[in-house]
Chain A
Amino acid sequence: MNLNFLSPIYLLGLLGIAVPILIHLLTRRQQKRLRFSAVYLLLQSQKRSIKRSAPNRLLLLVIRCLAIALLSLALAHPLFSFGRAADLIPAKPSAHVFILDDSYSMALRSDDETLYDKAVKAVLNPIRKIPAGSVYSVVLASSPARVLQQWTEDASLAEKILKASKPSFQTTNIGQAMTEAIELLQSVPQKEKRIHVFTDLDKNGWEKKDFTLDEKKHSYAVKIIDFSHLNTGLNRAAVKNVEVSQEFLTNSRIVRVKSKVINLYHDSAINRLTVALAVNGKNRSEGAVSLAPNAVEEKEFTFPVTASEPVNGTIEIADDSLPLDNQRFFSYQPDQKIQVLVVDGDPKTVAHQRETFYLENALSPLAAALSHIEPTISTLEQLEARDLFDFSVVILCNVSDLPFDYEIQLEKYVMQGGALFITLGDQVDPKYYNQKLGNLLPATIESLQQVGRQDEPFRLQLQKSEHPVLKIFTGKALEEMKSIRVHSLYRVEPRENRKFTVPLWFANKYPALVESDFGKGKVLLYATSIDRDWNDFPIQPTFLPWVQRWVKYAARGLESIQRQDLLVGEPFVWRDDFAATLLFVKSPGGKITQLVSSGGEALYKETLRPGVYNLYRAAGEAREKPESAEPAPETVVKLPENALPAGAFTVNVDTKESIAGKISEEEIKKLLPNMAVEISSGGVSGEAVAASEGLPLATPFLLLVAGMLFWEGWVVRRE
């Protein structure tokens, strides 16, 4: 038999019993002792007498104490049941896997502790009673499920680990946990094997695809202890989504944050729920939304930013019992446009005859917002008025020669990380290029190769490439590019002792594009023209992505890392050229991890906490992936002094966990067809009891209180 309380805090009311007792003691008259002769006569007359004041006083005291005790018991919502925690563990040697749901929905606060705390108590209760010869293990069910405690008989081990544990920020994955549990159970000799699942039965954790093991072969008793009844109505709302964008309508930079808030109630609306925006740790703005049941409402905030500092912020809604899903992080690098300086070496008054006409349109086809590239067209004359360091990429299009000593500025610019993209054409003076830009260019420009209009043109040698820029051109795109006709090109020859790569060739084995690194920057040389003078590539549909990708690649903006918004547990992939670069990730907790790159990719898996993760780069010898072992990110104490911020990404909780709702018993039984599934509800005291047997006693207790008060009144009146 078992008596559980849903609100045990009210049991403090039992202390109220002291009040009538105190009153009784204080008002009690001093009793005198007297040696008397006719005591037996007193006894006889007392028996006959109707008035019995002293027992009445005691009776009143008892009634009043009982009334107070019953009232506080009734307020504490007692549940009476016949189930016992000991039932979970049979006396004979047995093996038990305790699956503990530590997903973030278990962090919901009910009374003054979380569901997880209650579940931990409920797990520890049977573990403490585990008889000799029986073993247990503990599996955590948040995705990815993992074994917390291997088979053991020692109850203190789990106690130590579990008491220190906290719910994670991940979603539930009971299926995986089941698989782990079944694997564990197969490895023990005990005949009696059981699985105990302590969960809030969030539907999100019971996806069919996760139940991979063939349960037909394994038939175990599965006892599910459900804590969801403690959750009813406590989690009101969640922030579902946050989108950040930038507005360019005005001259100042305006960041627009769109958030979607969902009402988790199925039957009641929420009026004026506060939604607050905080940016870089300061409250920026506040608004309110009213939500119909189950509805999603959008709340938009805009705010100006003055510096191009990264914006890290949160959208937060008014508190409820599960604070984790009330907050969503975002990170934004304002002004993410790649500023490109396009130098037109063959400007014409007719727009489409200009050298840069196709390039400009390809770089910003409709609006700058779509491509994140902002080209600035400049003529040679205007060039000296420009500050190269305002731009990420400089494209020299068919430029004959540069102003005096401008090549030195260019060298400095590329050395410090700028990208130089040179396209050739009829204006180009190869001599100038070979002499003045010898440091920058890994190849010399040799002879001009031309074919007649009627002759077979030069074709690009197209095959599937692993180059970051070209890898997207496959299949149909590749076929289309085969139709590109090139009439004129410069043959280029490599300089001695220079490192370079040729990502693109002509079919006649002439390099079409030469790529080389110079300092921190990158130099690209395109052996033909970027307009239609020497080829018809600019009017091909593949021209646009091809040009954009090269520009982004050169500007290191390809697959912009700043835009990554991950869910807890999703790995972060940093794709870039990591030559001579050390990579660091700083987690919201302040932990700094140095990443290991391999093939232009660095992987960071420890996205287990929601928040903003900052990225840093520092010059230095990059850690390359060792041949044999798995790359192991390394925790470092301090960032190197030359480390520079390299963006940020955000990790947020998956609101599926909040929104999904509760899975029904039938659905569970369908998922576990051969298992003997039994669902009971988790009590407050940490004992597991069967829900069907839990009899609420609040009403009878209140009736008893009324009865006591009535009786008390009657006794007082009779006095």
Chain B
Amino acid sequence: MQEKESFAYDPKVLSRISALKIRALNLVEGLLSGNHRSRHKGSSVEFAEYKDYSPGDEIRHIDWKVVGKTDKYHVKQFEQSTNLKCTILLDASGSMGYVSPNETGMSKMDYARTLVASLSCLLLKQFDAVGLTLFNDQVIQHIPPRSKTSHLQHILHGLCAIEPHGITRIDQVVESLVERLQGRSMLVLVSDLLAKEDDIYKDLKLIASRGLEVVLFHILHPDEVSLPFEGDFIFESLEDDPDIGLDPQDIREEYQNMVRRQIESYKKQCLGLGVDYVFLETTTPLDQALSYYLLKRQSLSKA
């Protein structure tokens, strides 16, 4: 009820939703042209390959024609025909709310919102189920996966109604969520991974161990990568760190190195865990991100 009210009456949220929807649809429409139709023509049970029979395989899947020809038992394997369940985890902690003082393009949270909306849109168009979980140090809002087209509206509302706040604790959120996620579903984590007390690697390992397909979108603002500020600054934390006054010039090199090392380390760890790691600066065009997702989805459906 609460959700509906805010959904119905907050004009700011409404306008943001419509803008986000338009942005997402534009992106998705462009991407899917040509590719889209063919994926929904075939039957839900599609032959993929043969496999040597081994005890325990279902006998009805033995291809008797092949047995006749080769005198060997081969079992037919089929592509998964069920709809994909995708849960998108969006980091809504304070650090995601960073707005650059000389902002020209999209802010970090807007970028993340658009990404999530586009992904949702894309998935729903493919009749996959999409859910959204917003979190900071705990789950703020959980929208369970649905495949109805109208579900997009709920997701958009969830995205727009939230303002980033609080500290990031991915581990706690993952712990509470991972039980609910079914195997063979997909998890998309969208975050800046600026969590000083979190061991991201551990979290990812936990998710990966559940057999989930994980895509990690690591979003950072270029300011956060290169620290381009000039002059004396007092940096106030968007989370709970103490203020610090310094001349960014003094630590720029060290900072850049540190961020670079961190990204490298995520990349390496994710590779080891079979997690797809996508690093995005907010200046990166979003279609790149989406096309990456499509590639990923394709490979998944082929598996």
Contact = CB atoms under 8 A, between A and B. Distances in A.
B255 A42 contact: yes
Given A34-B234, A46-B244, A51 B255 contact: no
Contacts of B239: 37, 39
A34 B250 contact: no
Interface in A585-629: none
B235 A53 contact: no
A33 B236 contact: yes
A52 B249 CA distance: 10
Interface stretch (A24-32, A438-446, A453-461, A486-494): A24-32
B208 interface: no
Contacts of B242: 39, 43
Interface SS of chain B: mixed
Given A52-B250, A53-B247, A38 B101 contact: no
A39 B231 contact: no
B300 interface: no
Nearest to B250: A51
B239 to A, nearest CB: 8
Interface string A63-97: 00000000000000000000000000000000000
Nearest to A46: B251
Given A31-B233, A33-B233, A42 B238 contact: no
B196 interface: yes
A52 B244 CA distance: 13
A33 B108 CA distance: 20
A614 to B, nearest CB: 80
Contacts of B96: 37
B194 interface: yes
A121 B68 CA distance: 128
Contacts of A53: 247, 250
Contacts of B235: 34-36, 39, 42
A51 B251 contact: yes
Interface in A36-56: 36-46, 48-49, 51-54
A42 B245 contact: no
A31 B235 CA distance: 10
A37 B194 contact: yes
B192 to A, nearest CB: 7
Nearest to B197: A40
B229 A34 contact: yes
B10 interface: no
Contacts of B108: 37
Q: Kindly state the interface size class of chain A when it binds its partner.
A: 20 to 34
B98 A35 contact: yes
B244 A32 contact: no
Contacts of B247: 53-54
B232 A36 contact: no
A40 B241 contact: yes
B288 interface: no
A49 B254 contact: yes
A26 to B, nearest CB: 15
Contacts of B227: 42
A36 B241 CA distance: 10
B244 A42 contact: yes
A41 B259 contact: yes
Given A29-B231, A36-B98, A54-B245, A42 B251 contact: yes
A529 to B, nearest CB: 120
B258 A45 contact: yes
A31 B98 CA distance: 20
Nearest to B93: A37
Given A33-B234, A35-B98, A45 B229 contact: no
Contacts of B131: none
A48 B258 CA distance: 10
Interface string A5-35: 0000000000000000000000011111111
Interface string B253-286: 1110011000000000000000000000000000
Nearest to A43: B244
Contacts of A52: 250
Interface string B193-227: 01010000000000000000000000001001001
Interface string B176-199: 000000000000000010101000
Given A41-B259, A53-B247, A32 B231 contact: yes
Contacts of B237: 35-37, 39-40
B236 A34 contact: yes
B106 interface: no
B64 to A, nearest CB: 62
Contacts of B101: 34
Given A35-B98, A37-B98, A42 B246 contact: yes
Interface string B85-96: 000000000111
A49 B231 contact: no
Contacts of B238: 35-37, 39
Given A42-B255, A45-B255, A34 B233 contact: yes
Nearest to B234: A33
Nearest to B241: A39
Contacts of A34: 101, 229, 233-236
A41 B258 contact: yes
A44 B250 contact: no
B231 to A, nearest CB: 6
8 contacts: A31-B234, A34-B229, A34-B234, A37-B95, A40-B194, A41-B259, A45-B254, A49-B251
Interface of B: 94-99, 101, 108, 192, 194, 196, 221, 224, 227, 229, 231-239, 241-247, 250-251, 253-255, 258-259
Q: Which 3 pairs from chain A and chain B are nearest by CB? A: A37-B95, A39-B237, A37-B98
Given A35-B237, A39-B241, 5 more contacts: A29-B232, A30-B231, A34-B233, A37-B98, A39-B236
Interface of A: 28-46, 48-49, 51-54
